[in-house]
A and B are shown apart, each in its own frame.
Chain A
Amino acid sequence: MTLFDGKVNGKYIVESVDVNIKTKKRLQDMGITQGVSIKIMSKLGEHAYILRIRGSRVALGRDITDKIIVKDIASE
């Protein structure tokens, strides 16, 4: 699944990030690396999600959330 399929208050672990190097770098700067856990705090419709990552609050647009491959923590 991708982060885009996630639910509000759901926690997910990042498996891979399928974006170009520049965007990937910017996501790393926000703390998004392989294996990190992400919580979806709220959604702006489908357009953008507000996330909690490593203690900080980050908003990502749809074209990015649907390129972050995650797995549901609950499913482990």
Chain B
Amino acid sequence: MIIKVALVGNPNCGKTTLFNAYTGAKHKVGNWPGVTVDKKEGTIKHDGHSITFVDLPGIYSISPYSLEEILTREYILNYNPDVIINIVDASNLERNLYLTLQLIEMGKPVVVALNMVDVLEGRGMSIDIEALTTELKVPVIPVIAVEKTGITKLIHQIIKSSKSKEEYEPLIIDYGELIEDKINEVQQKIKLKIEVDKFLKRWLSIKVLENDHEILSKLRDESIEELPVESDFYQHRSHHSGKGKRRKLHKEVHNMKDYHHRHYIEHHLPGKMETYEEEIARRKYDFITTFIESVVINKENKPNEILSDRIDKIVTHSIYGLPIFFLMMALVFVFTFTVGNFFADIFEGGFGVVGGMFKNGMESLNSPEWLISLCVDGIIGGVGGILIFLPNIAALFIAMSLLEDSGYMARVALIMDKLMCKIGLNGKAVIPMILGFGCSVPAIMTARTLENKKDRLITILITPFMSCSARFPIYVLFSRAFFPGYEILIAFSLYMLGIVIAIIMALVFRAFFGKSEQPGLIIELPSYKKPAYRTTGIFVWEKVREYLERAGTIIFIASIIIWFILDFNFTGKSIMTESIGADIGRFIAPIFKPLGFGNWQATLALLAGILGKEIVVSSMSVIYGVGEVGLISALGGLGFSAASAYAFMVFSLLYTPCVATLGVIKSETKSWWWMSFSFVYQLVIAYFVAFVFYQAINLI
């Protein structure tokens, strides 16, 4: 038997942790709302059943106002899961149950997985499971997802619920006479081509009353013939507007909507009630309030102020908040550099030795010279040139993971909101930007948490300026060669430059797109928690694995191609300066002359770097061999000066995003235009800024 299970819950309630616990997957979890942006699937076998779990992004409700909410709703309606597991954060029960009630209302069998019961117990409270089960009329299973406690019991309940789904009778919330009458009225008017059960029909009616535009337009497609057209209304309107020709079109598009407005939705209710929509939400919360006191045992024990609140008083302080944040970021930076470099030096020595051993070994085996060159210069040189930075990358992701898992990341949105407002963005836009220091691809996907479309687009367009980990090797290589002793300072200046350009571009885009109505900051702040070694471990390991994979695939292949085009031309084997690679480089190189690095080597490396910015360095390593001393003198020999080296780093930082980033810009904006725009505009900016730096440094 195949059972489809959807994992639904509030952001940050532990869905992904539970999903990972079941499927053994290693998806990223974090302690801030919005960490999962796409749905993921995994299948397990249990007692002859095949259970497919779908981890959906966290949502607060089933309304049509955010991408995540629409995705979840569509999933439940279209893919028809057998059971919905609603993960509920026990330490935040009252608010979490609001979504629970909405899920129950959809009529599908719901099983509540009450997560984080340990957190609640730590505060001296507990939940009366039996009472909660009775109130909600759905099974409630306590679990601790991080410790995998209770998950077998949950599986058994899933199987049981899916088998008895035909008999499932959901809880029906009483919305009071006035609204119940309206629900009945609407229910009778909805005529669908397909047969749906009475619970779904009730749900649809409630959505109609809530003026849910998605559902209204769906109903319009379904039942347009059955509903009478309000001809007098339109005649009246067309008479007024004098646009008779457009009348018909107008009528077709809007009749359903206006019909609802005029008949179903007498939007303003008598007395204190404002709209049906508001009243329905209030009734749901009221229903929760009726039993919450009796379900949460020892509620009076609840401390007024838990540790998280005290921490917040310091880290989100109006004066200390910002300096603390900048200090944190500085610590991340220093940690990446110092701890990373310590191990990187060991790695580097190792690769030199391996390269040498290979060379000697292969020579003694009388391998052909081209093969030795391919292995030592091409593969070990190129891939090794990147692998030596692995410790720095790992260190960076350890630091990022700690920021995310502790709960601090959500605060950053709050602390930075004031500054972000100044550049016309919301505080939440800072999260993708910070994640951009790691990798632009997941960072750009995170921009989905921004509600406003324009804000989201601007954030997507500026995030690639945040210096990602792939650009780090470039700074290290060039600053070691030209600014020995000042590597940290030089790298820091480039990180800052990326931020400054991002800010300037945000302002430019904002001026261009016009000021969007600022929806204002609304963000839930999760409780702080001690970062779990497991979470950090999984996250960092995944990142390291990705990096190794890249080194083994794209960088490996790119290194071989670079080696090939540098060792051959159309007549066969050639010396490097007469190779195809050199010709390609030489063809473009003059463009970079005003920037100080108009040589074919740098040009070729930059061109290859579009595949992935690490490849700038791996290509350089292939061109000059593994030995760093050789590379430094070679760079000098090319006419690289301190000024042109800095200009090269600036250009590398800002120019065209790598293909993976371009791909995600395409998929997130659903537009080739914005992808091409990113490609071109970053190129132009990189050229301009690098030019200014080169000329300015030369003047000094």
Bound together:
yes
**Which A residues are closer than 8 A to B by beta carbons?**
16, 20-31, 33-36, 41-45, 47-48, 50, 53-64
Residue ID in chain B nearest A67 by CB atoms: B520
- Whether B520 lies near A57 (C-beta < 8 A) is no
- Whether A59 lies near B309 (C-beta < 8 A) is no
Asked if B522 lies at the interface with its beta carbon under 8 angstroms from chain A, I say yes
- Whether B98 lies near A31 (C-beta < 8 A) is yes
A-chain residues with CB within 8 Å of residue B517 when the two chains form the complex: 20
Assuming the contacts A22-B65, A50-B312, asked whether A59 and B520 have C-beta atoms less than 8 A apart, the reply is no
What size tier do the contact residues of chain B reach? 35 or more
Asked if B451 lies at the interface with its beta carbon under 8 angstroms from chain A, I say yes
B-chain residues with CB within 8 Å of residue A55 when the two chains form the complex: 91-95
Residue ID in chain A nearest B92 by CB atoms: A56
Assuming the contacts A41-B305, A47-B417, A53-B95, asked whether A34 and B522 have C-beta atoms less than 8 A apart, the reply is no
- Whether B95 lies near A64 (C-beta < 8 A) is no
**15 additional contacts (CB under 8 A) given A31-B285, A44-B418:** A16-B274, A42-B309, A44-B414, A50-B312, A50-B525, A55-B95, A56-B95, A57-B524, A57-B525, A59-B522, A59-B524, A59-B525, A61-B427, A62-B520, A64-B522
Tell me, in angstroms, the Cα distance from A24 to B65 when the chains sit together.
11
A-chain residues with CB within 8 Å of residue B274 when the two chains form the complex: 16, 34
**Which B residues are closer than 8 A to A by beta carbons?**
60-61, 63, 65, 91-95, 98, 211, 272, 274, 277-278, 281-282, 285, 305, 308-309, 312-313, 316-318, 321, 414-415, 417-418, 427, 451, 517-527
- Whether B312 lies near A26 (C-beta < 8 A) is no
Residue ID in chain A nearest B521 by CB atoms: A61
Tell me, in angstroms, the Cα distance from A31 to B94 when the chains sit together.
9
Rank and list the top 3 A-B pairs by shortest CB-CB distance, nearest first. A45-B318, A61-B521, A29-B60
- Whether A63 lies near B520 (C-beta < 8 A) is yes
B-chain residues with CB within 8 Å of residue A20 when the two chains form the complex: 517
Tell me, in angstroms, the Cα distance from A54 to B261 when the chains sit together.
33
Instruction: Determine which of B281, B316, B522, B527 lies in contact with A50 in the assembled complex, contact meaning CB atoms within 8 Å.
Output: B316
Residue ID in chain B nearest A66 by CB atoms: B520
- Whether B308 lies near A34 (C-beta < 8 A) is no
- Whether A44 lies near B65 (C-beta < 8 A) is no
A-chain residues with CB within 8 Å of residue B451 when the two chains form the complex: 22, 26
- Whether B521 lies near A42 (C-beta < 8 A) is no
B-chain residues with CB within 8 Å of residue A27 when the two chains form the complex: 522
Residue ID in chain A nearest B61 by CB atoms: A29
- Whether B61 lies near A25 (C-beta < 8 A) is yes
A-chain residues with CB within 8 Å of residue B519 when the two chains form the complex: 22-23, 26
Instruction: Determine which of B65, B94, B282, B523 lies in contact with A59 in the assembled complex, contact meaning CB atoms within 8 Å.
Output: B523
- Whether A48 lies near B308 (C-beta < 8 A) is no
